[in-house]
Structure 1
Amino acid sequence: MSIPYILTPESKEPAADRLRKLVAGDRVLIVPELHDCMSAKAAEMNGFEVIMVSSGDLACALTGIPDLQLLSIDDFVRVTEQITRMTPMPLIIDADDGFGLGRALNAQYGCMRIMQAGAAGVLVTDTSELARKGQLSIPDAVLRFKAARAGLDANGQHGFLIARCDSDLIHNFDSTVERCAAYIDAGADMLCILWMHKIPDRQMKVEMCRRLRDALNAKGGKYENFPMWYPDLCGKAHDPAEISMDDLKELGVYKLAGIHFSAHAAMLAMLDVGRHVMQEQSNDYVDYHFDDTGYKTFTTMSMFGLTDGSWVEAENAFVREPQDSVAQRNADYFVREEDIHDPDKQ
């Protein structure tokens, strides 16, 4: 009996290949930007197909301080190994300037290790070295992306490279197009124009996306219909300037759209529940407050391979009696018939 998920046959296809197949389709996929196995499990249960580790959320989760770019490559490798062992979803790592200091060698070495840890690829920026304001020159940025490409290709793995360009597209359009073409030449598989979502008007957002697409298409060849990542989808209900998924689909080149919600939602829920626990001096609030969401569970643990029996079956294959299995005992205690993990199927 194989252990879920890491040794199952579907996991043998490299994560980068699975990601490329998804990107080659005609859909725009929303990519939750998260920080740990619990948020990855929630994304998987919600039906998302690709995930990213947010460097900002990971920094807050691991250090308890804002993202001041203090994480080491070991921090990223550890969370990559943990997440890719428990889900088949291709995982992208937000590598910022290439895992510290902005040196090209850091990018090469870090990307190599991230691929060895099971990631599908990375997002690397063209920000200045040592976290200084601004961007690298195009030649220096190209060297960083070439180094990242070399690391992603080490050991024949061919990881997926998203090149993030931090240019002001409105005021520096021509130089942005020049940068994008240079980053494609350096080995990028996808482009992300970070401040696209900061443009204050929806129509202008759409127009700038279209202009960039058309400018690259005019170059022909490998630049034509080059895949794009849209950064940080926001809510339209309270921000009519925000672009929609229909807009992105109509543009034709946007394949992935990042969205931050997991760490934010988890923190809000913990603050809200914790306040009630303190006020009421009990755990009653959890027992009823979330009923209107449609989810019902006695414990979080039941969502991690106990209810579906996968870990119970895996351990029971190697014990004489079921009650000698920790997974079996946990399932007997934590799993309840009234649990609801997928309200949409009720």
Structure 2
Amino acid sequence: MSKDTLKKMLEREQLFVPCVYDCISARVAEKCGYKAIFLSGGAISYSQNGLPDMGFSTADEMIEISNRITSCTNIPLIVDADDGYGESPIVVYHTIQRLLKAGAQGFCIDDAGGYRGFERKVAAKENDTQYIQACVPREVWLAKVKACVEACKNTDCVIIARTEVSDLNEAIERCIRARMLGADMTLIVRAMHTLEDGKKVAKYDSGWKMWPDVYSVNGVPNVKLNDVKPLGFNLVTFHVFEKAALYGMLHYGMGNMKTGNNLYSELQVSDNLRLKEEIEQILGFDYTKWLEREIY
């Protein structure tokens, strides 16, 4: 197990965290040297249900997958808990308690309402790149944040108050209010896109902040880690493993389809013995330790 909790790590350093969606992606992240992982609601929807990120995942699914991941990895897990999977704060309280029992060391709780997910097309288009998100009233979301704070009493769990409102000033106000209630970290998703936006947020919200999903446009990252670190963004996430898995499966699958056997993929792995050993470790081929525990 990791000696430090997520909260202790964040007190010491900025964490660059990949999004995961199952045991294999989580173990790969750990093998790559990442110090924490983020369970993505969108990635769960794609991988587990074959559906777009529009709120199809349930609390039971997220809790079950969280439990599986924390049972096979040694680094902290942060969970995308959406809106807490309920309208009532007491339901949110119960959801968070269940996530804590599943081993989560951090989670996001957001103010989205109605249609959900990255593909959601609510109201009108904005600059042809972003869709306006329908959000619950400020007081409704803050009641959920307060419930989360109560559920996490006497724990080291990191509460990330996530707002999806599209107006930056309102987003900042919501973050400030959530922090006053006891949220450890804030996250602005729809209203913050550039480093200048981040500077404005940091001017009014000086505590821990999460920068959501660093991405690149025409080969240029939208922000650099060292630029947002001084602004208090000590948690930065990004999506890589879904894309890597898809590319790998298509690449090897089509190669084997052409040859009518598995030599294409086998030869590429066999040519790199270190890679082969690491893959076997990730997949859990350390079967000898289990055989030693076999009871005859």
TM range (shorter): 0.7 to 0.9
The Cα shift of 1:196 comes to 5.4
Q: Take 2:158 and 2:98, find their aligned partners in 1: how far apart are those partners? A: 14
The Cα shift of 1:148 comes to 2.3
| SS of equivalent residue, structure 1 residue 258 | strand
Contact 1:102 1:128 in 2 (8 A): no
Residue 267 (1) aligns with residue 246 (2): yes
Residue 258 (1) aligns with residue 245 (2): no
Q: Take 1:215 and 1:297, find their aligned partners in 2: how far apart are those partners? A: 50
The Cα shift of 1:177 comes to 2.5
Q: Which structure 2 residues correspond to residues 194-213 of structure 1 after superposition, within 5 A?
A: 194-195=189-190, 199=193, 205-213=194-202
The Cα shift of 1:143 comes to 0.8
Tell me the equivalent position of 2:43.
Answer: 57
Tell me the equivalent position of 2:203.
Answer: 214
Please report the TM-score for the alignment, with normalisation by the length of structure 2: 0.85
Q: Which runs of 5+ in 2 are unaligned?
A: 117-121, 123-132
Closer, same or farther: CA 248–67 of 1 in aligned 2, 3 Å: same
Q: Which runs of 5+ in 1 are unaligned?
A: 1-9, 200-204, 217-224, 321-346
The Cα shift of 1:305 comes to 4.8
Q: Which structure 2 residues correspond to residues 55-204 of structure 1 after superposition, within 5 A?
A: 55-99=41-85, 101-129=86-114, 131=116, 133-153=133-153, 156-168=154-166, 172-195=167-190, 199=193
Partner AA of 1:230 in structure 2: W
The Cα shift of 1:126 comes to 1.1
Q: Percent same amino acid among aligned pairs?
A: 25
| SS of equivalent residue, structure 2 residue 216 | coil
Q: Deviations over 1:199-234 (max 9, x none)?
A: 3xxxxx222211221223xxxxxxxx3001000111
Q: Deviations over 1:212-265 (max 9, x none)?
A: 21223xxxxxxxx300100011136x34361111212232x0111011111121
Q: Higher strand share goes to which structure?
A: 2
Q: Take 2:80 and 2:149, find their aligned partners in 1: how far apart are those partners? A: 15
Q: Deviations over 1:75-97 (max 9, x none)?
A: 11111111111112110110111
Aligned residue pairs total 281
Contact 2:36 2:76 in 1 (8 A): yes
Tell me the equivalent position of 2:292.
Answer: 316
Q: Deviations over 1:2-61 (max 9, x none)?
A: xxxxxxxx46x7xxx701101101x32111111011001100000000101101111122
Q: Take 2:271 and 2:173, find their aligned partners in 1: how far apart are those partners? A: 51
| SS of equivalent residue, structure 2 residue 19 | strand
Contact 1:110 1:151 in 2 (8 A): no
The structure number with the bigger radius of gyration is 1
The Cα shift of 1:150 comes to 2.5
Tell me the equivalent position of 1:23.
Answer: 10
Q: Higher helix share goes to which structure?
A: 1
Q: Take 1:241 and 1:32, find their aligned partners in 2: how far apart are those partners? A: 15
Contact 1:102 1:129 in 2 (8 A): no
The Cα shift of 1:117 comes to 1.0
Contact 2:16 2:235 in 1 (8 A): yes
Q: Deviations over 1:178-207 (max 9, x none)?
A: 21111112221101111356x3xxxxx222
Partner AA of 1:139 in structure 2: E
The Cα shift of 1:164 comes to 0.8
